[in-house]
Amino acid sequence: MKTGLLPSILIAVLCFVSAASASKKEDHEIKEKQARLESLKADVEAARDSLENEVASRYGLKQKLVDRREQDKQEMDQLRDGQERAANDLARIKEECLAREQTVADERKAAQSAQEEWSNEKSALSDMFKKEADAVLEAFPIDRETRRQALEKVRADFASKQDPAQAWDDFVAYACNDFRAGAKVSMVNCDVLPDQGGPVHLSLARFGNVFGLGIDKTGQAYLIRQTGRLGADKYAVEKIGSPSYAGYVSAQFGPWLKIGKPDGLVKTEILQNDQSRLLVSGKKVSFWAGLYASLKAGGLIMIPLLFLPLWVLYLTFWKGFQLLARGRSCRRCHKAAIALIDKGDIDGALTFAKSEKGVMARVLEICLERKEHGRHVSERAVREQIVQEVPVISRGINTIAVIAGAAPLMGLLGTISGMITLFAAVTHYGTGDPKFLAGGISEALITAKTGLAIAIPTLFIHDIIRNGKDRLLAEIEQLSISVMTHIWPEE
């Protein structure tokens, strides 16, 4: 019992001691907790004060922010108002810019239109001056230099002043002066350049721009007339070779010089064409000279056209000689061969055939070499030989037919070319002179007439040559049959 009690007592003492130490520990912990609680409370108070200070500080900041926001709002409103005003000003400026750009575009368009109008006027005046410069070549011979100088003065003034209105007025004045000079009958002393010879000084009776009669110091009479051509050849200055007409002009000039102008009835050739030249010169034109002048008027196309009949003549003589020679050769060869065959001299006939030339000699050679094979075999070889001869005999005949067809076409080409030139001249000079139109049309038709004149006889020549070829081929066939009949009389 005693032994078991002691541990219990020890355990109880230990428990008590443990409880006492635990109580002390708890008291110590309680004190520490109270101290910590007091410290925490002090910290809380400090934190509260700090928080209150922070809250107060933040409230102050918030109030400042509110005030700043109000200020920023006011500034934003001011900026927005300024932006709206700036946008309005920008829109107004943009509208003004667009209006000014439209004005500038309109002004530029007006300036461009004015520039184009000025260019057109300048071009029109330049073209007018150019046409007038070309027309000066057609002026009455004594007016050409005066008109040229006057026109150059108008052109130079326009080039320096660049004033179309003034240039037009100057040109009208120039044209009026020329019109007045060409619309009156007058007596003048002037130098002219005849078509033959050097310049001469004439006392000239001028009848406008139509014609003029003049006489030089030696008493030689001259006529200035229109030729019906264009350009520098519009007028001809010719000596009057006809004695009767020259005497008439010389007799009239005495009274005309006294009164200072032509008076009374004036004898002249009113048509003023190529016949006038003949009447004035008092000479007759030979047939060959007239033919040469007619062919020359046809232009360059006449060169190949005139070459065609020479070609046809060459082919005609060549083919005629060829056909006649071949026909004569065939008949001679046939006659000699038949004579030998009738005599029974086949070897002699074969030797003769080999020594001769031409289609009949070849036919004889073929038939005699194939005598043992029969007529049927030889006929085929003879037919082939005749077929080979056809192109040789026909060579050149189709060329004659082509020339017959090409000649009128070449003439038509020359006519069309001449009509184009004529219409171009009509476009430039107008249709005021029927003589010019008639002359141009007649010259344009010369090539057509020449082409037909070549083509018509060429067609007949082609027909004659072709018939001769057909007759020769038929004769060759007949002679070949005759040869085969003499070689194989039984078949």
Q: What is the DSSP string of 329-389?
A: HHHHHHHHHHHHHHTT-HHHHHHHHHHS-SHHHHHHHHHHHTGGG-HHHHHHHHHHHHHHH
Res 426: pLDDT: 65
316-342 confidence digits (pLDDT tens): 999 888 888 888 888 888 788 788 777
Query: Rounded to an integer, what distance in angstroms lies between the CA atom of residue 344 and that of residue 340?
Result: 6
Element (H, E) at 432: none
Annotate 152-215 with DSSP letters as a single string: HHHHHHHHHH--HHHHHHHHHHHHHHHHHHTTSEEEEEEEE--SSSS-EEEEEEEETTTEEEEE
Q: How far is CA 107 from the centre of its chain?
A: 38
- Contact, 196 vs 240, CB < 8 A? no
Mean pLDDT within 400-422: 83
Going by C-alpha positions, the residue among 252, 243, 157 that lies closest to residue 214 is 252
> pLDDT band for position 420 (50/70/90)?
confident
Mean pLDDT within 477-487: 78
Query: Is the pLDDT reported for residue 53 higher than 70?
Result: yes
Q: Is 263 left (phi over 0), alpha (psi -120 to 50) or beta?
A: beta
Res 277: pLDDT: 60
Res 460: pLDDT: 92
197-228 confidence digits (pLDDT tens): 788 888 888 888 888 888 888 888 888 887 76
Query: Is the pLDDT reported for residue 258 higher than 80?
Result: yes
Res 2: pLDDT: 47
425-439 confidence digits (pLDDT tens): 666 655 555 555 555
Res 311: pLDDT: 92
Query: Rounded to an integer, what distance in angstroms lies between the CA atom of residue 204 and that of residue 332?
Result: 81
- Contact, 438 vs 340, CB < 8 A? no
150-179 confidence digits (pLDDT tens): 888 888 888 888 777 788 888 888 888 888
Query: Rounded to an integer, what distance in angstroms lies between the CA atom of residue 108 and that of residue 118?
Result: 15
Res 1: pLDDT: 46
Query: Rounded to an integer, what distance in angstroms lies between the CA atom of residue 380 and that of residue 389?
Result: 14
Domain segments of the chain as ranges: 28-130, 131-285, 302-487
Q: List Cβ neighbours of 247 (8 Å cut-off, separation of 6 or more).
A: none
Res 275: pLDDT: 56
Res 313: pLDDT: 92
> pLDDT band for position 298 (50/70/90)?
low
375-408 confidence digits (pLDDT tens): 776 777 778 777 888 888 888 888 888 998 888 8
270 in helix, strand or coil?
coil
Which of 16-25, 34-43, 200-209, 301-310 comes out lowest in average pLDDT? Answer: 16-25
Query: Is the pLDDT reported for residue 441 higher than 80?
Result: no
128-139 confidence digits (pLDDT tens): 878 888 777 778
Helices 359-369 and 302-342, axial angle in degrees (round to 10)? 30
Q: How far is CA 285 from the centre of its chain?
A: 43
Position with higher pLDDT, 242 vs 490:
242
> pLDDT band for position 456 (50/70/90)?
very high
Query: Is the pLDDT reported for residue 457 higher than 50?
Result: yes
- Contact, 422 vs 444, CB < 8 A? yes
Mean pLDDT within 38-64: 81
Query: Rounded to an integer, what distance in angstroms lies between the CA atom of residue 400 and that of residue 309?
Result: 10
Which neighbouring-strand residues pair with 207?
185, 211
> pLDDT band for position 445 (50/70/90)?
confident
Position with higher pLDDT, 437 vs 354:
354
Count other Cβ atoms within 10 Å, centred on residue 417.
15
Looking at every residue in the chain, the average pLDDT score rounds to 79
Mean pLDDT within 183-209: 83
Strand-strand pairing, 235-239 and 221-226: antiparallel
Query: Is the pLDDT reported for residue 359 higher than 60?
Result: yes
Query: Rounded to an integer, what distance in angstroms lies between the CA atom of residue 465 and that of residue 48?
Result: 148
- Contact, 227 vs 238, CB < 8 A? no
Position with higher pLDDT, 371 vs 275:
371
